[in-house]
Every structure is written in C-alpha cells, then in structure tokens.
Amino acid sequence: MVKSRTIRIPLDLIISVETIISMDKELQYKSPFEFIVDAIRHRIEEVLKLNNPYGEKKKENNIISDFV
C-alpha cells in the first residue's frame, strides 16, 4: 500500500487544474489528483536534473524512483 499525506492546495490552483482537465480530454487525466501527482513528479525530475546536469548516479537522486 502506498503511504500518503493530506496537503492543502490553494483553491485557485485546483480550479485551474479542473479547467485544464475538462478542456483538454487528450491529456487523459481522470482527476485533479492524477494531474497534480504527475506535475509533482515532473517537477522533482526537473529539479534533480538541474542539480545533477551530467546524469551522474548518486544515491540521493534516486528519490523519484520510489514514486514513479
């Protein structure tokens, strides 16, 4: 079972996500939850790449593998 934690997200961001999902069916997100989890994963990958531009394998950079 995946552990989880509840977080608060500003309402304006939730409304934006819901609008994007409803307007663009090609994205194939079924819920705001799926969109937000995907967005967080992408941001983590981006930050890890910025901190490790040469793709060196470091233990701390395997953080995302637990969630992907």
pLDDT by residue (tens digit) across 2-11? 898 999 999 9
Q: What is the pTM of this model?
A: 0.69
How many other β-carbons are positioned within 10 Å of the β-carbon of residue 45?
Answer: 14
| Rounded Cα gap, residues 48 and 63, in angstroms | 9
> What does the pLDDT read at residue 51?
85
- CA-nearest of 46, 34, 1, 38 to 61 is 46
Dump pLDDT digits (tens) for 20-58. 999 988 989 999 999 999 999 999 999 998 887 666 655
Is the model more confident about 43 or about 59?
Answer: 43
Residue with tokens 């307007």: 23
**Total tally of structural domains belonging to the chain:** 1
Q: Is residue 23 part of a domain?
A: no
Q: Are 68 and 41 in contact (CB under 8 A)?
A: yes
Domain housing 53: 29-68
Has residue 60 been placed in a domain? yes
Asked whether residue 18 is assigned to any structural domain, the reply reads no
Residue 65 three-state SS: helix
Which pLDDT belongs to residue 50?
87
